[in-house]
Structure 1
Amino acid sequence: MQFENKLSFAKKMDANDELRNYRNEFHFPQINGKDVIYFTGNSLGLQPKRTQKYVDEIMNDWSALAVEGHFHAEKPWWDYHERLAAPLARVVGAEPKEVSAMNTLSVNLHLLMVSFYRPTSKRYKIICEEKAFPSDQYMLLSQVRFHGLDPSNAIVELKKRPGEHFWHTDDILDKIEEVGDELALVLIGGVNYYNGQVFDMKRITKAGKKVGAMVGWDLAHAVGNIELKLHDWKVDFAAWCSYKYMNSGPGNASGVFIHEAHLEKDDIPRFEGWWGTKKETRFLMKPEFEPMPTADAWQISNPPVLSLAPYLASLQMFEEVGMDALIRKRDTIVAYLEYILLEVDKEVEGSFEVITPKDRGCQLSVLLHGQGRTLFDYLMKQGVITDWREPNTIRLAPAPFYCSYEDMYNFGQILKRAY
């Protein structure tokens, strides 16, 4: 497509956008009396207007039914989480029995490590990307230490090539083969939070399993953003948060995937609680744990329905639209944003560069030369909500549900004025 840096062109793109009406489904903050240009759906998605109804349902049932709401609410609380399984499975490319909504992301990664990081004297190493999201780094360090291992030996970080801002898949595959039969686990962020790179999860998973390792993915920046086929790729496990592209609200519930090959195994270690035991016998209060035959076996506590309600509201929109349509718009609007950035860069003589490779989802990371934080502060005052990452990078994520092409054009005009 031949883009144009013109308002008329942007408006024409919006008029032809199959998702244009969904912009009206979200609440926008305002700065200077206008809706903001919102680029931080990769950090916290905007609130869907329909969310209030889903939360109110639970509050009203609690008021009217009290404890009876567990079984007699319109959406009974005791199995509320099950309503999320099928739509979540379609988003991540899984069978409904392989997914569950529970806890929060880092909590779930720790719980999944109990099952899938089982080091031996020979096979104990973990491969992750260098400078992974800090929570992942802390989680891996603490897990390795918990097993009495030295992180400097047990954790193998994937390095970028000197002077480059992204990873090469061949380098990752070579490192997996090099570590070989010492490798217990590959655990990488499916989309890197800093540079926006999408890893080749299919090839990396296959390589990890070929040498006998477990393979898991932190999909915080991937779910609701890119195409996923976790079941077909034979990923062992994955976890994600729901408050970024899934728009479920700050700090909200996480999702997990456990491949069906690991379900109903009698010998798999797991931290267990009563909501993971079979529904048929759960309220008999039996002393022995009888696991659910699904990913729900990893649940420990009863579902936090007030957290799950916004998640369910958002998933309804994903059901209406489908990932194919979201990805189509994502590809076009991100390409248009990149075009706008490059056009501005020509006029301001190389003041920044896009460091996100072509293997990308919704995010473009822009490395600033010169202005740095002052540019970020200027954009915020002008109503452009973007994300700052030290030392000098801003992240721009035009979420396809609610960002418009006119937003991209207007951002370019504001950016030019900053220089």
Structure 2
Amino acid sequence: MTEAAARDLDAQDPLPTSRAQFHVPPATGGDYAETAYFAGNSLGLQPIATRAALDAELDDWARLGVEGHGEAERPWVSYHQQLRDPTARLVGARPGEVVMMNSLTVNLHLMMVSFYRPTPERHAILIEDTAFPSDSYAVRSQAAFHGYDPDEAVIRLSPRPGESTLRSEDVTGWLAEHGDRVALVLLGGVNYYSGEFLDIPAITRAGHAAGAVVGWDLAHAAGNVPLRLHDWGVDWAAWCTYKYLNSGPGAIAGAFVHERHLADRSLPKLAGWWSTDPDVRFRMHPTVTPVDTADSWQLSNPPILAMAPVRASLEMFDAVGMDALRAKSIRLTGYLGTLLDETGAGRPMEVLTPREPDRRGAQLSVRLHGLDADAVSAALRTRHGVIADARRPDVIRLAPVPMYSTFHDCWRAATAMADVVSGSCAGS
């Protein structure tokens, strides 16, 4: 396909790009002023609105000092409540089921304090073998904390021999056969390495049928694929906001707890000042007054300068809508996949991500047989102005993010990959 054809697709697409609402890094190589940015699955681009959102809070801090807690344009004491409704819309929850707080792995641990309730007969934690390392570390440490051997308690499901992705039906089948020893299922909704989108409702049903609690790491799913956490019956979930949600490096994270658990006083929880009922918070009682919302998992008062970028981002998602973004994502990944098939013919390039659109998010992972991914990623950037993500030793992840990526970006990435891989092969 030609460059002109790619530009025509951009001109004709039913969802015009929001690229102009983002700061796109300048290209350090190639023929274009801006990079073709495919690393939004690692760190999303900065929305232009972010600076104004931060400046507003800095101005209120300068003008009001401590009185900003109650008198800022958006009072700080209740700031996190402004994020509740748009967050619920984003992940398919009811408002009381979500809260923005902490970082992803902290939230995973807080959720496991409540929902990993091991017994000698049922103490296994089921994860995927390609789980993000932080998840693996977290579940192993939880098993050890409860006195179990992590090597025995943590079960890692692998793809079928000769395959690169874990099929949802293999997860549900394993649970039907072996689930009686599983206390917690904790999988990534979209796998960080392969980009595979697991069947969350089917796996959740299978986990419950086996008697397990089912939680989800949605770091690569929130803002990427439509979610219906309440309707799917998910027990709990956690996610970050610095990837597809474009809220900045190390941004504040989110958590979901299904409403059937919110009033359960038997659940163990760690508590802090913001865990208590806000109506009595400033009476300084020595004990928590519980609230029947996800807020009861909070510990500390909200970090305003970290929440302002999240608010700005959620406004953008509300304006566009996840269904429209998902439809464009499918168009972009389909186009990029076709280009990679064409340009990769005869080259050592293999797309690992499932071909079926409903089995993948906004990411295609490409294995470069015999080549070094770091070297290829560096050449893509310096020679062609294409920023991609390398996963050692030989995988390049390309994420055409529908909020700001274009068909022309996809054309640039595919042609750049062909050029760099051909040059690497010639020089090897």
Tell me which interval the TM-score lies in, with the shorter structure as reference length. over 0.9
Cα distance in 1, alignment partners of residues 49 and 257 from structure 2: 30
In structure 2, what residue type is equivalent to 1:234? G
In structure 2, what residue type is equivalent to 1:28? V
Cα distance in 1, alignment partners of residues 156 and 413 from structure 2: 36
Q: Which of residues 396, 406, 409 in structure 1 aligns to 2:408?
A: 406
1:354 aligns with 2:351: yes
Cα distance in 2, alignment partners of residues 98 and 284 from structure 1: 26
Cα distance in 2, alignment partners of residues 222 and 21 from structure 1: 20
User: What does the per-residue CA deviation read over 1:142-176, in whole Å, with 9 as the maximum and x for residues that have no partner?
Assistant: 10000000112211111211111011222211221
Give secondary structure in 1 for the equivalent of 2:232.
Answer: coil
**In the alignment, which residue of structure 1 is the partner of 2:267?**
268
Structure 1 residues 176 and 21: alpha-carbon distance in aligned structure 2, compared to 1, 3 A threshold: closer
Cα distance in 2, alignment partners of residues 384 and 352 from structure 1: 17
In structure 2, what residue type is equivalent to 1:199? L
Give secondary structure in 1 for the equivalent of 2:192.
Answer: coil
1:9 aligns with 2:20: no
**In the alignment, which residue of structure 1 is the partner of 2:27?**
31
Cα distance in 1, alignment partners of residues 414 and 118 from structure 2: 51
Give matches, 1:253-332, under 5 Å.
253-332=252-331
Segment drifting more, 93-102 vs 119-128: 119-128
**In the alignment, which residue of structure 1 is the partner of 2:86?**
87
Cα distance in 2, alignment partners of residues 131 and 15 from structure 1: 38
User: What does the per-residue CA deviation read over 1:362-382, in whole Å, with 9 as the maximum and x for residues that have no partner?
Assistant: 000000023333322210212
In structure 1, what residue type is equivalent to 2:276? T
**In the alignment, which residue of structure 2 is the partner of 1:164?**
163
Q: CA deviation at 1:316?
A: 0.4
**In the alignment, which residue of structure 2 is the partner of 1:146?**
145
Give matches, 1:339-418, under 5 Å.
339-346=338-345, 349-357=346-354, 358=356, 359-373=359-373, 374-381=375-382, 382-418=384-420
Cα distance in 2, alignment partners of residues 59 and 95 from structure 1: 31
User: What does the per-residue CA deviation read over 1:271-322, in whole Å, with 9 as the maximum and x for residues that have no partner?
Assistant: 0111110011010011221122210110000001100000000000001000
Give matches, 1:101-140, under 5 Å.
101-140=100-139
In structure 2, what residue type is equivalent to 1:380? R
Give secondary structure in 1 for the equivalent of 2:409.
Answer: helix
User: What does the per-residue CA deviation read over 1:35-58, in whole Å, with 9 as the maximum and x for residues that have no partner?
Assistant: 101000000000000001110011
Give secondary structure in 2 for the equivalent of 1:163.
Answer: coil
Cα distance in 2, alignment partners of residues 240 and 410 from structure 1: 31
In structure 2, what residue type is equivalent to 1:238? A
Cα distance in 1, alignment partners of residues 360 and 127 from structure 2: 19
| Maintained 8 Å contact 2:17/2:405 | no
Cα distance in 2, alignment partners of residues 375 and 64 from structure 1: 50
Report the count of equivalent residues.
Answer: 413
| Maintained 8 Å contact 2:386/2:412 | no
User: What does the per-residue CA deviation read over 1:319-344, in whole Å, with 9 as the maximum and x for residues that have no partner?
Assistant: 10000110111000110111111110
Segment drifting more, 44-53 vs 147-156: 147-156
Cα distance in 1, alignment partners of residues 417 and 163 from structure 2: 26
| Maintained 8 Å contact 1:105/1:254 | yes
User: What does the per-residue CA deviation read over 1:366-400, in whole Å, with 9 as the maximum and x for residues that have no partner?
Assistant: 00023333322210212110000011000000000
Q: Unaligned stretches of 5+ in structure 2?
A: 423-428
| Maintained 8 Å contact 1:333/1:405 | yes
Q: CA deviation at 1:234?
A: 0.5
Q: CA deviation at 1:211?
A: 1.6
Give secondary structure in 2 for the equivalent of 1:127.
Answer: strand
In structure 1, what residue type is equivalent to 2:363? Q
User: What does the per-residue CA deviation read over 1:189-220, in whole Å, with 9 as the maximum and x for residues that have no partner?
Assistant: 11111011111110000010112110000000
**In the alignment, which residue of structure 1 is the partner of 2:426?**
none
In structure 2, what residue type is equivalent to 1:168? R
Cα distance in 1, alignment partners of residues 176 and 148 from structure 2: 22
Cα distance in 2, alignment partners of residues 123 and 371 from structure 1: 44
| Maintained 8 Å contact 2:370/2:394 | no
In structure 1, what residue type is equivalent to 2:409? D
TM-align CA RMSD: 1.1
Cα distance in 2, alignment partners of residues 414 and 21 from structure 1: 22
Cα distance in 1, alignment partners of residues 260 and 88 from structure 2: 16
Cα distance in 2, alignment partners of residues 190 and 298 from structure 1: 22
Give secondary structure in 2 for the equivalent of 1:239.
Answer: strand
| TM-score (ref. length: structure 1) | 0.97
Structure 1 residues 21 and 183: alpha-carbon distance in aligned structure 2, compared to 1, 3 A threshold: closer
Cα distance in 1, alignment partners of residues 96 and 82 from structure 2: 12
Q: CA deviation at 1:21?
A: 4.7
Q: Unaligned stretches of 5+ in structure 1?
A: none
In structure 2, what residue type is equivalent to 1:286? H
Give secondary structure in 1 for the equivalent of 2:347.
Answer: coil
Structure 1 residues 21 and 393: alpha-carbon distance in aligned structure 2, compared to 1, 3 A threshold: closer
Cα distance in 2, alignment partners of residues 117 and 179 from structure 1: 18
Q: CA deviation at 1:404?
A: 0.8
Cα distance in 1, alignment partners of residues 210 and 414 from structure 2: 48
Cα distance in 2, alignment partners of residues 21 and 221 from structure 1: 21
**In the alignment, which residue of structure 2 is the partner of 1:76?**
75
In structure 2, what residue type is equivalent to 1:59? L
Percent identity of equivalent pairs = 50
Segment drifting more, 151-160 vs 186-195: 151-160
